[in-house]
Structure 1
Amino acid sequence: MANVFFSKGRDNNFLDPFHQPINWRIKNPDEINWQTELFLVDQTLKSLTPQQRQIAQYWGTGELSAKITAMIFGLGEKYRLGSPHISRALGYSNAAINDTFVITWFLKYLWDVARPNQYGRNLSTVLITPRFPSYPSAHATIAGCSEILLSYLFPSESA
């Protein structure tokens, strides 16, 4: 039997395990000033250091969940955890990432927001951008989910 952390209700809303509506803390794209955001993206791209570009390339290429999994194994070895503890951490992580993907991809296609380089065609991006909606960012939501989970499982590593 699988754990269910949320379910889909009527009218495209999601319910918590107690069947109460979940109020997500994410802005509706209709409330975002995309011109201002595009300006910020452009300024950020122009000011990136080589180290920041390297970090973006590391985290932005390849399968993010594989990198999180490797972190869990590394932390398990560091703290000399046994297989049951590592398996439990992997189970929690994979379940949380799965749930995060479900919500993220649902909202991506519900809102269908173009990518910054589709608005500002002269942006020189660090990474090749895929051809699916940009908002919300799957990398950002998975990173946020993983940060919370790993900070809980390995509190001394939360910084």
Structure 2
Amino acid sequence: MAKKNKDGEMPNAHLHELFVDELKDILGAEKQLLKGLKKLADGAHSDSLKEAFKTHYKQTEGQIERLKAVFSSLDMTARGKKCKAMEGLLNEADEILEEFQDSPEVLDAALIAAAQKVEHYEIATYGCLVTYAKLMEHSEAEELLAATLAEEKDTDVLLTEIAMSEANLGAAK
């Protein structure tokens, strides 16, 4: 719940406005990503990469629920907005799928690069949101957002492992 000072005003009102705007943006981004992850899983050739995309799809569903809980903790209705950054990243992934469809050994490496761009965007966003929540003493939101941040970092590490053990090696042949 948003805290107010003794005058009934919310301290850091501008930061709170930014926080809510970023929450709406990342909620929209996560919903957009669900569609993108299906395409990535369908396009991947490596079983481990397909599985990583499918696992992250399930995580993303949970992250959307967590974001709804963040909104609820602020006594707000969860509403997302179209995330232009995610739209661009997913458009780039679509281009990669088309451009490298005839070269499966390179396609997996390219899909990992595209997916890691998405992960890095999410890591940056959730990192900021955790900081904002902490500054405004929204402890429940901070905890929920930190859990998602940890998942995003874990996914990035997993993608790096697949790239280094399989995909990039195959592409280099």
TM-score by length of 2: 0.30
The structure with more helix, counted as a fraction of residues: 2
